[in-house]
Chain A
Amino acid sequence: MSARDTVLASIRHALGVTGTEAPRRKEVADRLRDHPRGVIPQRGQLPDGERIALCLEKIEAVAGTTERIPALSELPAAVANYLRANNLPLAVKRGSDARLAAVHWEFEPVLAVSVGASDGNDVAAISYAYGAAAETGTLVLLSGPDNPTTLNFLPDYHIVVVDAGAIAADYETVLARLREEHGIEGLPRAINLVTGPSRTADIEQTLILGAHGPRRLHVIVLEG
């Protein structure tokens, strides 16, 4: 008997089942198909403006920084200003996300924008989030050429753009949208739920930002 069959057999032995019982199989198939929602916190169930405000408040509560821009044409200036304010070199890496590709980066001629995954030598990166959950200020980022996962973790400074309209009340709403739009078969390799910059409290429970991932997280909400 293979190890797989041994494990399944001992589970079934312990549960006193054979695995062929129709009611059990139906219950599991139904739950996987219907994926019922459980308890959804009220806190994020707000009109658009308040929900976005809650999301930003939650991001700031976990040491992220935020700003709002009215149009993507403002993005190059916002990025350049952020880098300047942090005394960083005016360089940022991005993926091939069409929205980021369409931005007129040349409006900030001194800002060097490179494209691709990170090899660990980038100080700052910019990603376009799939969405966010306002209840805890959690960003949802998808892997792939558009927004490579390494950009989320290797650079010291991570700038994330999110559409105001993609800020949902709760995790379930973002995950359901993902299932709807991509299908289970089309899920990306990695879905990163990111809540603030990297941190540790492993030394005497002193909270320090920038453990292995980014030291700073800056979220830019695109309004409208």
Chain B
Amino acid sequence: MHQPTSARFKANAKAALADAELQKALHFVQTNFPQRRRDVAAKLPEFEALRDAARDIKNHTLAHLDLYLEAFENNATARGSQLHFAVTGDDANRIVLDLCRQYGARTVTKGKSMVGEEIGLNAYLEANGIDPVETDLGEYIIQIRHELPSHIIMPAVHLRKNQIEADFRRVHTSLPKDRNLDEPAALLAEARATLRAKFLAADVGITGANFLVAETGSAVIVTNEGNGDLTATLPRVHIVIASIEKLVPTLEDMAQLMRVLARSATAQEMSVYTTLMTGPRRGGDPDGPAEHHIVIVDNGRSAMLAGQFRDMLRCIRCGACLNHCPIYHAVGGHAYGWIYPGPMGAVLTPSLIGVDKAGQLPNASTFCGRCEEVCPVRIPLPRLMRFWREREFERRLSPATQRAGLKAWAFLARRPRLYRLMTAPAMQVLAWFGRKSGRFAALPLASGWTKVRDLPAPQGKTFQAQWRERGRQ
């Protein structure tokens, strides 16, 4: 299993900035998604109202999560699904392994599942003699590279075509060496043919779920490729793995969330396949799994319900906050050191693996606020990152110099007259030195800033001084 390297964020980020291939790949995210999301949102006048509705549905569900979980359990069981509860990720891994063994699974296919990534399901199964095959194209690519996903919906967004071609040539050794893989379509055709054989041979299919509908006991998956449906339909056994916050009360509530999910995630009005799976195959059905299992995973979420991080449990894993984040654009997903990158990862990762291991992530933000602006369920991501920063400070996890600096600043900030007395002359001096170019390429005590970018020179008067002057006018 991959050990989180979130504690090394700074070193990871530095390496990412120097990685030319990665920078080219990331360029797509920055130029592509924000504009496309804006366009698709503008086409639906009710989009902002739907975001409010989505937020409210999630808040209502979380506040009654115990009861909706019971309702889901009753309805799913009545439809013939077999439910399993897992307190921890290890528990969930064991449950899935036991099921695979119980059914004598030889070939296991898998649809992309972030909770599966979170608990290290693939590594656990492999260590116990079962090799699950990822079937989402991006997830398949990172699986054959033995990498973590770098994005929660586009796992291979950090890669370029030539890298993927090299991986396919390395792994698909039974195919002719001189085949042409220049076009993305050729790579897709090769993956499709390779994985089609796996789909048809699989005894067990494992997928995640985007929603669990309490009213019907259905697990819902959303994909564009159709891999999730083939994984769920063809094998004799289908195992769904889903965390507790995936619950929604009714079909109507699911429909509300569907409308914001694809638009926020891929700037589509609707993903190609949204499938509600309710129980195993019925008598007379010619296809579908004979056994349907649902593994409900807590793994730290119930604890998040208690405090200020409950808001984070509204997350529907669309990836909009990553797509709009200047830090993510600069360093990509792997720098964050674990499977949840970007602003949502900066909030969620410390909750799940501890602020001592992931305390740097909430600092990886300019607090520009774009993540909160685009979040379909209106999670106040900057505020939650600030909570973590405060906690990191309180628990003395940040470096001593930084803490001393913050303390000195706090001392000044609480004494306005002293603050003014010190800042006013400093601004004048800096303005005088920077009067020619309007910026500093190097500055004593500020090398951490000026090493990688210029510091703009102040205009001479402090904000407060200008404010007072305007007040007088």
Contact = CB atoms under 8 A, between A and B. Distances in A.
Interface of A: 2-4, 6-8, 10-15, 17, 19, 24-25, 27-28, 31-32, 35-43, 58, 62, 95, 116-120, 135-138, 143-145, 148-150, 152-154, 170-172, 175-176, 179, 184-185, 187-206, 208, 210-214
Contact of A190 (B63, B83, B160, B275): B275
B195 interface: yes
B85 A24 contact: no
B71 interface: yes
By size class, the interface of chain B is 35 or more
B137 A200 contact: yes
A212 B258 CA distance: 22
A211 B256 contact: no
B269 to A, nearest CB: 5
A144 B285 contact: yes
- Shortest Cβ-Cβ A-B pairs, 10 listed: A213-B226, A211-B225, A202-B138, A14-B305, A14-B306, A117-B286, A10-B302, A35-B250, A136-B270, A3-B85
Contacts of A58: 269
A68 B219 CA distance: 34
B224 A200 contact: yes
A197 B223 CA distance: 12
Contact of B287 (A24, A40, A149, A199): A149
Nearest to B226: A213
Interface in B179-198: 184-185, 187-188, 192, 195-196
A203 B137 contact: yes
B225 A7 contact: no
A144 B244 contact: no
B252 interface: yes
B225 A198 contact: yes
B184 A208 contact: yes
Contact of B226 (A19, A27, A198): A198
Interface stretch (B228-236, B347-355, B439-447): B228-236
Contacts of A2: 85
B280 interface: yes
Contacts of A145: 284-286
A14 B303 contact: yes
A62 to B, nearest CB: 7
A42 B154 contact: no
A7 B188 contact: no
Contacts of A153: 226, 229-230, 233
Nearest to A154: B230
A142 B266 CA distance: 26
B236 to A, nearest CB: 14
A4 B296 CA distance: 9
Nearest to A195: B270
Nearest to B274: A193
B259 interface: yes
A201 B223 CA distance: 12
Contact of A203 (B79, B161, B230, B303): B161
A24 B84 CA distance: 25
Contact of A213 (B218, B225, B278, B303): B225
B244 A213 contact: no
B41 to A, nearest CB: 12
B227 to A, nearest CB: 4
B71 A32 contact: yes
| Residue of A150, A198, A204, A212 contacting most chain B CB atoms (<10 Å) | A212
Given A137-B270, A212-B226, 19 more contacts: A3-B86, A7-B87, A28-B64, A36-B250, A43-B44, A62-B270, A95-B286, A150-B286, A153-B233, A184-B215, A189-B282, A189-B285, A190-B232, A192-B273, A195-B273, A198-B224, A204-B25, A205-B32, A211-B188
A38 B188 contact: no
A202 B251 contact: no
A28 B252 contact: no
Contacts of B250: 31-32, 35-36
| Residue of B161, B199, B287 contacting most chain A CB atoms (<10 Å) | B287
12 contacts: A19-B66, A32-B71, A35-B253, A42-B46, A137-B270, A171-B258, A189-B280, A190-B275, A190-B278, A190-B288, A210-B192, A211-B227
Nearest to B214: A32
B360 interface: no
A213 B184 contact: no
Interface stretch (B9-17, B49-57, B335-343): B49-57
Contacts of B405: none
Contacts of B422: none
Contacts of A32: 71, 214-215, 249-250
Interface in B97-141: 135-138, 141
A43 to B, nearest CB: 7
B388 interface: no
A35 B224 contact: no
Nearest to A5: B85
B28 A172 contact: no
B241 interface: no
Nearest to A37: B252
Contacts of A39: 46, 49-50, 53, 256
A154 B57 CA distance: 35
A52 to B, nearest CB: 18
